[in-house]
Amino acid sequence: MLSWLLLHFLIAAVGTLLARRYALQRDLLDHPGERRSHQVATPRGGGVAIVAALLVAIVALATRDPSQRWLLGGFGIGLVLVAAIGMADDHRPLPVSLRLAVHALAAAVLAISVQMASGNPWLAMLAFVSAMVLTNVWNFMDGINGLAASQALLVAMALAWVLGGSWALLAGALAAACAGFLPFNFPRARIFLGDGGSGGIGFSIAGLGTVAAMPDSPAALWLLLPLSAFLVDAGLTLSMRTLQGERWWEAHTRHAYQVWARSKGHTSVTLLYASWTATTVAVMIVLRTTPVSLAVALCVVTYLAASVVWWRLERMESHTKTTGDK
């Protein structure tokens, strides 16, 4: 296991270095602006190294474990589709409709492979919905240094604990790859994930979570705990912007983590989010063999608490704007 983790850590680290060099040569830079949370022009697209590490893992595991080839194949095809459209968008902005259409195709491929492997249409539906949601949530939440990659690392560790066999190794590869990328993105960002990387991570977490639910449906409920910070922040912010008639797909700085970062800084907020998620991972590991009713109760309490924090941060931002206008 140690050599497996080290391999994917190195693939991601070396790949990130190469991606940074490529981005600088091609002038693939995110520039500061009203809809950005950073202050200096920064290369983007480093997440391709994480995707590359995952694809190496998928090929190796499919060769080693023929019984999982179809499911791993569907996972890999979907990952390539999401990463490819994201990387294309990193080079030249694409219509949101095209990006969502490719995401839907990737989610459908994953869902079909889950249906073939499990024979359970509900799990196939879970695969499709979670892939669509998490692919975009990780993109929305990739706005300050280290946040998206550190959250992925923690969630992948939780998935590796829950899963077994080849899928635990794949989750471990994702965690190791995120660890290989993070030194280039946190605490100072020398490169960003880009849409290809953030979308690929979200899709991978969705696929791994669905596989975890195949033999053990309650696992899907427990996995909602480590996802709570991202799902609440992205979900409530998206709902608020939609109700206010804003274009939800456009870049902005209204997420709770962005509001918080303006007063506390990127490093503090990333560490605070990591502390929240690490706590939920610990709770999940300790209590996941307990009755499902406890998982439901803990999810309700956790999401309500996260929603209160989001609401307070939103009020703080509104008050700041009102005071500034006066």
Distance CA 45, CA 63 (A): 29
233 contacts: CB under 8 Å, gap ≥ 6: 141, 255, 256, 257, 306, 310
65 labelled ligand-binding: no
DSSP 94-107: --HHHHHHHHHHHH
Lookup: tokens for 12: 């991601």
Cα separation values, 95 from 89, 107, 253, Å: 9, 19, 21
Q: What is the crossing angle of helices 69-91 and 121-140, to 10°?
A: 30
Indicate the residue type of 22.
Y
Three-class secondary structure of residue 42 per DSSP: strand
Q: What are phi and psi of 30, to 5 degrees?
A: -95, 120
Contact of 212 with 220, CB cutoff 8 Å: yes
Of the candidates 20, 2, 6, 4, the one whose C-alpha atom is nearest the C-alpha of residue 179 is 6
183 contacts: CB under 8 Å, gap ≥ 6: 13
139 labelled ligand-binding: yes
Three-class secondary structure of residue 131 per DSSP: helix
Q: What is the DSSP letter of 244?
A: T
Distance CA 21, CA 18 (A): 5
DSSP 191-236: S--HHHHHHHHHHHHHHHHHHHHTT-THHHHHTTTTTHHHHHHHHH
Q: What is the crossing angle of helices 147-162 and 194-213, to 10°?
A: 20
Distance CA 103, CA 125 (A): 15
Question: Which residue ranges make up the annotated binding site for Mg(2+)?
Answer: 139, 195
Question: Which residue ranges make up the annotated binding site?
Answer: 139, 195
